[in-house]
């Protein structure tokens, strides 16, 4: 559960309802997210200080409930977000579809946080270079569907099946067997988010 940072800030009523839901439904929750700081929305960026204040409150709730954070924190927002996580004492976090300076990526890795790549890792050099900075034990895969992709996926509806393409690209980069990569990524996911409730 979360409030996407590229959207307007929640009303006080929505915020109060959300905080109560997190407490009430904690046993059923795997994470708080997607949350973070806006970058793409000019309207949301105007309220950046307010978004930072809200993210600090969300981080405090995550720390209190021992829930990981799923973060939308791209480019220079990643460094700001990382500082906020450290200040809040967050132990478990997932920087999704990360686009950040290599020095910041290294700091995120040093904190033990997870970083995910999308199917762009199959065709985009930026995402392939990111793998060089992330130990496979801290890597996750995602599609961010229904987000559309280019390269070999151009014009096709996004599907979870593309995770298999990402696995092949990751296995090639790390020089590992595809089945071993599947096992490692699955273990990483369970370690961060736990197993789904039965």
Which pLDDT belongs to residue 191?
96
Can you give the pTM of this predicted structure? 0.95
pLDDT surpasses 60 at 148:
yes
Of 3.20.20.140, 3.40.50.300, 3.40.50.620, 3.40.640.10, the CATH number of 1-112 is 3.20.20.140
Query: pLDDT for 127-141, tens place per residue?
Result: 999 999 999 999 999
Which pLDDT belongs to residue 91?
96
Which pLDDT belongs to residue 179?
98
Is the bond preceding residue 146 a cis peptide, omega within 30 degrees?
yes
pLDDT surpasses 60 at 198:
no
pLDDT surpasses 90 at 188:
yes
Which pLDDT belongs to residue 182?
98
Half-sphere exposure of 52 (CA within 13 A, CB side): 15
Q: Sketch the domain layout of the chain as residue ranges.
A: 1-112, 119-198
Percent of the chain topping pLDDT 70: 98
Arithmetic mean of pLDDT, 114-138: 97
How far apart, in whole angstroms, are the C-alpha atoms of residue 189 and residue 114?
A: 9
Burial 153-165 (b: 16+ CB within 10 A, else e): beeeebeeebbeb
What is the overall mean pLDDT for the chain? Answer: 96
How far apart, in whole angstroms, are the C-alpha atoms of residue 91 and residue 84?
A: 12
From residue 189, alpha-carbon distances to 22, 30, 111, 114, 194 in Å are 21, 11, 17, 9, 7
Q: How confident is the model at residue 117 (pLDDT cuts 50, 70, 90)?
A: very high
Which pLDDT belongs to residue 196?
58
| DSSP string computed for 115-164 | EEE-GGGGT-HHHHHHHTTS-GGGEEE---TT----GGGTTS---GGGHH
Query: pLDDT for 62-106, tens place per residue?
Result: 999 999 999 999 999 999 999 999 999 999 999 999 999 999 999
Query: pLDDT for 32-46, tens place per residue?
Result: 999 999 999 999 999
Arithmetic mean of pLDDT, 144-153: 96
Is the bond preceding residue 34 a cis peptide, omega within 30 degrees?
yes
pLDDT surpasses 60 at 197:
no
């Amino acid at each position: 559960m979360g409030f996407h940072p590229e959207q307007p800030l929640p009303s006080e009523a929505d915020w109060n309802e959300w905080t109560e839901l997190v407490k009430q439904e904690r046993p059923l929750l795997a994470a708080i997210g997607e949350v973070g700081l806006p970058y793409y929305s000019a309207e949301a960026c105007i309220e950046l200080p307010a978004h930072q204040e809200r993210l600090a409150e969300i981080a405090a709730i995550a720390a209190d409930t021992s829930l990981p954070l799923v973060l939308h924190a791209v480019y220079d927002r990643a460094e700001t977000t990382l500082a906020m996580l450290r200040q809040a004492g967050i132990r478990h976090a997932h920087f999704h579809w990360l686009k950040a300076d290599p020095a910041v990526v290294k700091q995120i890795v040093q904190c033990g946080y997870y970083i995910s790549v999308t199917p762009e890792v199959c065709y985009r050099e930026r995402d392939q270079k990111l793998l060089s900075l992330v130990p496979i034990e801290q890597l996750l895969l995602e599609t961010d569907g229904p987000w559309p992709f280019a390269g070999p996926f151009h014009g096709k509806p996004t599907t979870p099946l593309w995770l298999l393409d990402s696995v092949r690209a990751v296995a090639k980069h790390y020089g590992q067997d595809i089945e071993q990569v599947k096992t490692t990524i699955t273990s990483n996911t369970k370690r961060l988010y736990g197993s789904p409730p039965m």
